[in-house]
Amino acid sequence: MSVSFKTLDLNLLKVFDAVMEERSVLRASQKVALSQSAVSHSLARLREMLDDDLFVRTATGMQPTARALTMAPQVRDALRALEAAVELPTFVPASSTKLFTLAANDFTTMVLASPLLKILGREAPSIDLTIKPVTRIDLAEQIDLGRIDVAIGVFSVPPSRFRTSLLFEYDDVLIVGGKRKVGRLDKARLARLPLVVVSFGGEQEGAIDGFISERGLARRSEMYDRAALERALAESERPPRIAVSLPHFLALPALLQDSELAAIVPRPLAKALAQSNGIATYELPYSTTPAEVRLLWHERVESESSHEWLHDILRRAAEELRRGR
């Protein structure tokens, strides 16, 4: 069926965008201030016009079809452009009640949250943050749909629709429980240690060379330089033993306490854990490739003052990490 934009009711697209974001007719109706029946009727009209179901009702909510996923970013961009054209909003951090949604892992949240919240308290006390896990979502899709304002992580070269900015770099160190005495840490000693590492995903989820790729966006999944470790111990009598692989950093202090385990972690995290958990840090007997933690956002928000401010305060929150490096 041929669809003419001249006869298209833009309110149908607003309803479509709300259902795409909320994945629920009820929540979408609340978002656009319509009744549930009005939302259902609008979806029915749009389905008939486009000759596609657009959404399929499931036990977990309204799941979009392939056609809906394809058109959703363009619809959202168009609606935002229209909103900007007619409203011309002015962003004032001190009085704004805006909600920003970030995607980050527990490591970057731990080392950035405190300085970031201090800046917000001084400059924008009514702005709220939602921090989503960067590891269990289709990150590229969420950014494309506008459900994530900015992601924080280690990425390979991103697709052209995304923009990035460096936050800080880090290398790896070894940590053990504070009561543990490792002695001189050379390669032979390291080869005998049962190691704990953090991997956000794994080979079973399609990780290649420590990165998981989704819709052209590859993010780091292995939170240690595995290649450097394997090279360093290549001539050892025994290969490195990965005794425990975790999907997050949260459990590390408990695992290391009163155990023979040692963990390879980012240096800024080791510093943070040492301050609050009695962790001892050792330099590795080999060099690791510095990892770049970057901000990543969609090109469509490139010139929005609120997003420029958000990126700026995140960079300021990472100043001490850059100096530490």
3-state secondary structure 278-325: CEEEECCCCCCCCEEEEEEEEHHHCCCHHHHHHHHHHHHHCHHHHHHC
224 & 118 share domain: no
Q: Is residue 118 part of a domain?
A: yes
The reply to whether 52 falls in a domain is yes
Q: How much is the pLDDT for 208? A: 67
Q: Give a yes or no: residue 85 inside a domain.
A: no
Buried b (16+ CB within 10 A) or exposed e, 259-294: eebbbbbbbbbbbbbeeeeebbebebbeebeebebb
CATH number for the domain harbouring residue 114 = 3.40.190.10
Same domain, residue pair 303 and 162: yes
Same domain flag for 203 and 261: yes
- Residue pair 12/45 in contact (Cβ under 8 Å)? The answer is yes
User: If 0-12 CB within 10 Å is exposed, 13-18 middle and 19+ buried, where does residue 38 land?
Assistant: middle
- Tell me, yes or no, whether 10 and 61 share the same domain: yes
Domain range enclosing 272: 172-289
What pTM did the predictor assign? 0.73
Overall number of domains in the chain: 3
Report yes or no on 68 lying in a domain: yes
Q: Looking at the structure, do residues 114 and 204 belong to the same domain, yes or no?
A: no
* Domain contains 82: no
If asked whether residues 164 and 305 sit together in one domain, one would say: yes
Domain presence at residue 232: yes
Same domain, yes or no: 179 and 133: no
Are residues 67 and 37 located together in one domain of the fold? yes
**238 in a structural domain:** yes
Amino acid identity of 273?
A: L
For 162, residues 6+ apart whose C-beta sits below 8 A from its C-beta are: 143, 217, 296, 297, 298, 299
The CATH number of the domain holding residue 33 is 1.10.10.10
227 shares its domain with 190: yes
Q: Are residues 164 and 181 in the same domain?
A: no
* Chain centroid to CA 113: 14
Is 316 found in the same domain as 285? Answer: no
> Residue 89 falls within a domain, yes or no?
no
Spatial contact of 43 and 32, defined as CB atoms under 8 Å apart: no
Judgement on whether residues 273 and 195 belong to the same structural domain of the protein: yes
In tens digits, the chain (325 residues) has pLDDT values of 456 666 678 889 999 999 999 999 999 999 889 999 999 999 999 998 889 999 999 988 899 999 999 999 999 988 888 887 776 567 899 999 999 999 999 999 999 999 999 999 999 999 999 999 887 678 899 999 999 999 999 998 889 999 999 999 999 999 999 788 888 899 999 999 999 999 886 544 556 667 777 777 888 888 999 999 999 998 887 788 899 999 889 899 999 988 999 999 999 999 999 887 789 999 999 999 999 999 999 999 988 999 999 999 999 999 999 986 5
